[in-house]
Structure 1
Amino acid sequence: MVVASGLIVLGLVVLVVGGDLLVRGASGIASLMGISPLVIGLTVVAFGTSAPELAVSLSASSGDAAEIAVGNVLGSNIFNVLFILGISALVTPLSVASQLVRLEVPFMVGVSLLLWMLSMNGHLGHVEGSLLFGMLLVYIVWSVWQSRRESKKVVEEYKEEFDKPPKSLWDSLLQLVWIVLGLIGLAYGSQWLVDGAVMIAKSFNMSELLIGLTIVAVGTSLPEVVASVMASIKGERDIAVGNVVGSNLFNMMCVLGLTAIVVPEGVPVPQTAIWQEFPVMIAVCAVCLPIFFTGGRIERWEGAILFGYYILYTTYLVLGAVGSPYAPILGKVMLFGLVPLTVLVLTISVLTALRRKPESPVSEGIEEADAG
């Protein structure tokens, strides 16, 4: 038990450090190549913060812990929206001016539904993986094209954060060193984390899927936590939201897609995930639609709802794992009580937003983004 806990802690630390080094190095090289800071933030950084998920999923699927790979992606996506967006909005309301981010939200819901349909047969093979990864390439090209139409406000926000090209030859070489060290850290950290997670799952008779949904998902999402919360504190609201949405898209199209391509047997998808975790992830992504429809703004009360749901969802998973009789009760309370109430509140919020006058700050923000 001590060894397993030590491996998990060590793996998480090495993963977080490795992911940070990879993002730092890749951002520097991309900036040196003349790639715009907006594209760097929406693609390079989003991929970099999802690198721990990719490393863990490849490591888990290559071994005998394939369920961790699926649980890791589903759990990370749920964690990203409910916990990270919730915490970031509690720090400061997130008023998103980026037209690109708002367009990514319905795309995220669509990819979630497609991934669910592809997983219905209990397996993601090379064909499904190729389709997902091909969509990723199209998404990157679309992001680069769409970024040229963004408003000056959004472009300046990303420029301030990511326009940091290497200043000398030594600085450029240092970026390459960061990339190499980051990749090494991701390789070793992911293996240690998976080994520790499997040991704990066997010790407590817990499923690998549950371990992937909780411990592994939270651990591999730490880079997103740091990136989004720090961006929120600094007032970089588009970055805070764009990082979460972009990371979710990379998790589904790159992490699961590439894993299904690389691993000879593909990725098995447990029935529990198909009928429980997938609907939860899709519902969580869909919740973002009315929130962004009300002008791309996440208020503190909406952040509190998201954060509260994550606490309840995690509690439900833990109670179910230990066989508590309260787990079914909590599940029914959330399904038949809190979910309809949330739908009602968000519907009222949307209707209220539709009645706002054109000269309102929200409408002005949208017009500014469209004009850009």
Structure 2
Amino acid sequence: MEYILLIVGFILLVKGADWFVDGSANISRLLRVPPVLIGLTIVALGTSAPEVTVSLIAAIQGTADVSVGNVVGSNIFNITMVVGIAAVIFPLQVKNEMIVKQIPFTLLASLALIALAGDVTLQGSAENILSRSDGFIFILFLSIFMYYIIEVGLKSRKETKPIGDSNVKWGKSTLITVIGVAAIIIGGQFVVNNATEIALAWGMSEALVGLTIVAVGTSLPELVTSISAALKKESEIAMGNVVGSCIFNILFVLGTTSLISPLSINPVIFTDIWIMIVLTILLLIFSRTGFRIGRKEGFILFLMYVIYMVYIIMRN
């Protein structure tokens, strides 16, 4: 039964991503804003739903390692595997705004995480904790980001003519988008739960399953959505999805979870946070080379994740 549900999960993921990208692209046309802004907001928040769910449940249950590890691991997967595979399928065009403001904001959020979490090093505290005040700072950063997105969107509306395609309707586009994200979330849950059961039945340890299947599973929505966007040559949605998800994961997911329950940070996770920061810088460098991420850069990013997986398996 697990194998059947696993296949059903993958079908829901793929079809849901197809609808989600189509609906999101149509909404961007109806709103008269660049597709990248929809990728940074609606698509990013929708595909971050599994991370939000897992981290909130973990915070309520008092398992901080799951919350923080889920966010950091998902961001590393997004920057390497999601961008890498999408770029190998179809080179991703990167707008100047993304290079100058949006990727640097992701880097800023990552640096804020290491600064707020590093209580032992920076403040001489007994342990590293993301407190409720730290959560408030994250939410404040997110508010600044959202204000910037709204401001850019309003400016774009003034400069863009209303859509003339009668086939693009608000009701249909919204319905397709909602059904798409629902299919992605349900499909992702099917894949994670049943793949975990199969892996445990094969003799894999729970720790290894958590580091591989669960971490990758919560990022499957970003992966399938970005691949679908790349196949449809909607590279702005693909890049916006990745960058927006990374920002939402740190600022919204960790901000919300630490507001609910302060998170104790395992010192081991700092290595992974620094890896995430280095990979974000690498993404910025790749984006500046001809304002696109080509197949060669995509393969390098893909290889980076393979190396990272070998490292964490050996570490644990």
Q: TM-score category by the smaller chain?
A: 0.7 to 0.9
* Residue of structure 2 equivalent to 1:55: 53
Match of 1:84 among 57, 78, 82: 82
Counterparts of 1:302 and 1:295 in 2: how far apart (Å)? 12
Q: CA deviation at 1:115?
A: 0.5
Query: Within 5 Å, which residues of 2 pair with 1:26-37?
Result: 36=33
Q: Which residue of 1 aligns with 2:94?
A: 96
Distance in 1, matches of 2:278 and 2:213, equals 22
SS in 2 for 1:142: helix
Inter-CA distance 183–304: structure 2 relative to 1 (3 Å threshold): closer
Secondary structure (helix, strand or coil) at the match of 1:271 reads coil
Q: Give the superposition deviation at 1:40.
A: 3.0
- Which position in structure 2 is the counterpart of 1:304? 299
Asked if the contact 2:129/2:265 (under 8 Å) is kept, the reply is: yes
Residue 66 of structure 2 aligns with an amino acid whose one-letter code is I
1:272 aligns with 2:268: yes
Whole-Å Cα distance in 2 between the matches of residues 54 and 22 of structure 1? 22
* 8 A contact 1:97–1:296 mirrored in 2: yes
From 61, 64, 67, give the equivalent of 2:65.
Answer: 67
Evaluate the alpha carbon distance shift between residue 312 and residue 29 of structure 1 in structure 2; reply closer, same or farther with a 3 A threshold.
closer
SS at match of 1:141: helix
Q: Which residue does the alignment assign to 1:358?
A: none
TM-score by length of 1: 0.66
**Where does 1:189-268 land on structure 2 (aligned, <5 Å)?**
189=189, 193=193, 207=207, 212-262=210-260, 265-268=261-264
Amino acid at match of 2:253: V
Who is 1:118 aligned against?
A: 116
Q: Out of 160, 170, 175, which is 1:165 matched to?
A: 170
Quote the offset at 1:177 in angstroms: 7.9
CA RMSD across the alignment: 4.4
Report what 1:313 is aligned to. 308
What is the alpha-carbon distance in structure 2 between the residues aligned to residue 55 and residue 164 of structure 1?
31
Question: Per-residue deviation at 1:79?
Answer: 0.5
Per-residue CA deviation, residues 245-304 of structure 1 (Å, 9 max, x unaligned), is 111011111111111112xx3222211002x11111111111122222234211221111
Question: Could you say which residue in structure 2 is the equivalent of 1:139?
Answer: 145
Deviation (angstroms), 1:72: 1.0
CA distance in 2, matches of 1:177, 1:286: 33
Structure 2 residue ranges without an equivalent (≥5): 120-127
- CA change 1:105–1:213 in 2 (3 A) is farther
Structure 2 vs 1, CA of residues 22 and 64 (structure 1 numbering), >3 Å: closer, same or farther? farther
Q: Distance in 1 between matches of 2:235 and 2:86?
A: 9
Pick closer, same or farther for the CA change 1:14–1:123 going to 2, 3 Å: farther
> Cα distance 1:32–1:94, how it changes in 2: closer, same or farther (>3 A)?
closer
**AA aligned opposite 1:128:** D
Corresponding pairs, count: 301
Distance in 2, matches of 1:113 and 1:164, equals 41
The Cα shift of 1:230 comes to 1.5
Structure 2 length normalisation: TM-score?
0.76
Counterpart residue type for residue 43 of structure 1: T
Pair 1:320–1:180, CA change in 2 (3 A): closer
Contact 1:22 1:182 in 2 (8 A): no
Tell me the distance in 2 between the aligned counterparts of 1:184 and 1:301: 31
Q: 1:177 to 1:141 in 2, by over 3 A?
A: closer
Deviations 1:157-193 (A, max 9, x none): x999xx65105xxx97x6798599679959x949x85
Matched-pair identity in %: 35
Q: Which residue type is aligned with residue 141 of structure 1?
A: Y
- For 1:94 and 1:28, locate their aligned partners in 2 and report how far apart those are by CA, in whole Å: 16
Matched, 1:281 2:272: no
Please say if residues 15 and 52 of structure 1, whose CA atoms lie closer than 8 Å, have aligned partners that are also in contact. Answer: no
* Matched residue, 2:107: 109
User: Would the aligned equivalents of 2:103 and 2:284 in 1 still touch at CA under 8 Å?
Assistant: yes
- 5+ residue gaps, structure 1: 322-372
1:129–1:256 Cα contact (<8 Å) kept: yes
In the TM superposition, residue 60 of structure 1 has moved relative to its aligned partner by: 1.8
Give the equivalent residue in structure 2 for 1:340.
none
Q: What whole-Å deviation, never above 9, does each CA across 1:192-250 have from its counterpart, x for those lacking one?
A: 859x69x96xx86654xx65543222101111111111211222222211111111011
